[in-house]
Structure 1
């Protein structure tokens, strides 16, 4: 019994001791915590000062409203008097500050716009700084292209409600400004303004500038309404590459005359050519910006042949002229008008349709083109102006014999093979290959190859085929171990064609690849050619290395020139050059004789040069049997 009681009391004592221990530890924890936090420094609070302000002082006083000047309607009969009065006030107040006002062309004003109000007269004018003052302070001088396209006298009024940018014709990508001397009333175009103001002179001293200016004068003399839509129908075939650039450069010779006479005009063009996949005719929308049209012309894609009758048909069918405007087409081509239709009598049917449609739509056609019956009659029957295209058109003999070549490689296999044959012959005779007749050291084989290229008008239709041939020529030479340099002599006589070659243009033998050679073939072709003169005058300028010397002549006409044939032959022999020719087949020579390497029976320069210098001859397709004197 005693033992049971002792065991029952023992657990209770342990529980009490545990509780007492917990209480003591909790008290000690509180004391330690209080002691720890009581010793930390106390941060001072920020002091805030409040200032009371009266509510009436928060709102500023509203300024007194000013009475706006009253506006009263203007009697339409007094409109012109008010314009003159305002103009006189501005002129008097600003006479001591500036003499001219220069400003960018404003947004076009609609014809129906009118001035219905004006502000009350005031004795003082606001002190404003004009753009002219800013330009003068910076000492900026205006270029010729920024000169005025409209130069009205004080009080005469602007001759057109649109201020266009004036161009000198030497370029079309620079910014222009309209310039007015002193002040002038701005009015709307009137038919009376066109009278007596057509006696202006052309500003482009070039054959194309003069031709376009003559057309502008013809249009101005016959204008009735003061509005004109003028569309160029451009032949964009290969033979027109240089002519289109000249038309674009001389465009302002025409538009400046229109602006000086106050004509409200729009411009456009239709481009036509025959390309790989058929006939290509594109109609561009009309624009009032001559610079935009000039840029479009300069970047036209040139290729293929052309069908002028089909282009005229499409222009008359799809062009959208303004109802109040007089309609004018300007056909620019260097070949007779043709059609792509294959039906019987298609040419005469389309020609008659063009005549009838021009009469029905009252369209005037001006021609800068080929001297043929249709083009002359088209201008005459529509009261237009016919002019022969400057720089020489394709002569009748050239057109009749078809001197052009296809642009597709598959159609030029004979020509391409001739280029490869000449390349292999040059490599073999220069030691660039092992033959049964020579054991030349391949690594030491060097050659300077001078390409003498006919750049006259008759070659214009062959330029794309010649590019393909020269590519194959260089590719064939690269197959041989030949260290070669290529030089170039381009020859033509084109005195009246800006940008074309006149004489012999010599490029030293420093070309080594296709791309560098092709860069020289972008110059416009035109005029006549004299091969003998190019040899005598150009060949001595070449700086040859101590290597094989080759002259590769490419032409489609017999040799002509002011120098004697023997003089050119003696020069070739003295320079120790090998003359290879891709040219017209000499008289009395067959194609088989030329390709087999036989002696040529002719006595012209090309035959004699090949025979005497040990060269090779290959016939040029579609070449002329006699030199054309009409180029």
Structure 2
């Protein structure tokens, strides 16, 4: 019984202890919950510095772009076939960024030029000398060193070494665009000497450029534009090229006032013949990448080298393939040419149109009123404008072959000024700026030239100064010709001759008469010329050839030799046609004669 009571007491104590423990745990839990609630209710969940600041920004809506006619595909850059340029432009002109894409040349031994069919006076004893009889007075007037070494200190020759080092590095300040009476091919138009009536309407170049710029801006839809001038740099384009550079500011003003993002590129095209102008004709197409440096761009246009012919279709295709246009820009070509479209690579007008349409390129044309010029512009959504004031070479030929009255020609010779002779020197710079050239003066040594040669020498001094300023790589030679009753004398002074020597050769005593055609053929055959250099002949005479003389063979002979012939002379078929055929310059000699007469 007692044992049973003790067991009950133990159970009661355990039950009480358990209850007390549960109550204690409940109170502790309540205390902790209350404490947590108190802490939480008096403190924010996130500190101020951890709070997230949110700002709303408006995403600009991208401008819709006009989808090109055909999807834009990747442009593949063509490889140049030429391994070495004919003339490294930078070596002569450090400001010029172009490298001529020309084939390499190597000196070759040419056969001695002869003209078997040329007929000269058979009844006259010909004395072709090397000036041994007359060179002694010239040498006696020089120092021993100068006579023995004509290249030392000569102004008319370039010495060995790095080109451009021996001359002033400043660019020539010649205002070629301002020369009056010089045709775009460098040849004076005889129609301009006789009359100042232009054959085409006088449309201002500045107005055309400004109008075209506004039309280009109209296609931009406010977006960027890339404009590339594709310029014909053949012989007939000299004035037009300079006009583009001169009036480029008008186009830039339009772009600036329209707040347009614009860049300008340049592609110039012509042709050349390798192997001393005896090889096949090849394209010379040079491309300047897009730029915003207008100073450099304008200089590049002014420095375009005038060459031989042109193939516009080949230039358009190459420009589209190689010019790196911006992806989002409206792309414009401005083709400037005064010749019909041609190609030596078998391309057609359709080929040019197709590639321009493929890349969504507008083609604007400053050209001739011909169907193909207008069709290229219309088929690519571009604009056509007639090239301002420039005359076609066929029209120039018509002018030169048109028979004018004797009185009109005589008045033109009487009104001619010696300053006009400078057009010959400027034309030579345009044609041969970055190529070596041998310049040969053919001087009429007859009595009628006695009072004219001192005036010519003053102009010759200016030529030399301008050629040196333009950093031409040239050498001078002289062929002096005269005749009397029994002999035709041709004195040949091979290059290089110094300026002093040239002056003293020209100042030699004059004789009775002259025979120009005979002097050209026989004098040229005696010349020792550089194989890698171009040849530029300058004929100085005040009389026409005799009416009975046959000059066609002489012109063909000069064309075959690929020489350029300029003339300071008078009106006759030979003097006028030889400059036209060879790409030279004709200027009237003051007080020249219209009839060949030994008694002047």
Q: Check whether TM > 0.5.
A: no
> What TM-score do the two structures reach when normalised by structure 1?
0.38
> What TM-score do the two structures reach when normalised by structure 2?
0.39
